[in-house]
């Protein structure tokens, strides 16, 4: 499942990079939780949790239906 998540993140990264941010995949658990590290301007942006849940998580769940949740660490 990690490979599927990485492939989906490649579609998301250009949008994040356009605003000076990025995301690193830390872990994909067996129970479908994706752990990400927001970097660049995303790491300190007050809207980062909304971006994570409404943007990144939504797209990842569409691309990889096995995903249950996406969290930032």
Q: Which distant-in-sequence residues (6+ apart) come within 8 Å of 61 by Cβ?
A: 67, 70
Sorted by where each begins, the domain ranges of the chain are 2-72
10-residue mean pLDDT profile of the chain (73 residues): values are: 95 91 94 93 82 90 95 91
**Predicted local distance difference test score (pLDDT) of residue 59:** 94
3-state secondary structure of 29: coil
**Predicted local distance difference test score (pLDDT) of residue 49:** 83
Query: Under CATH, which number does the domain 2-72 receive?
Result: 3.30.300.130
Residue 61, Cα to own-chain centre: how many angstroms?
Answer: 10
């Amino acid at each position: 499942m990690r490979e599927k998540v990485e492939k989906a993140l490649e579609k998301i990264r250009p949008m994040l990079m356009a605003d000076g941010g990025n995301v690193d995949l830390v872990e994909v658990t067996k129970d479908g939780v994706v752990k990400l590290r927001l970097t660049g301007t995303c790491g300190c942006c007050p809207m980062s949790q909304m971006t994570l849940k409404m943007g990144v998580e939504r797209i990842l769940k569409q691309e990889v239906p096995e995903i249950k949740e996406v969290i930032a660490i």
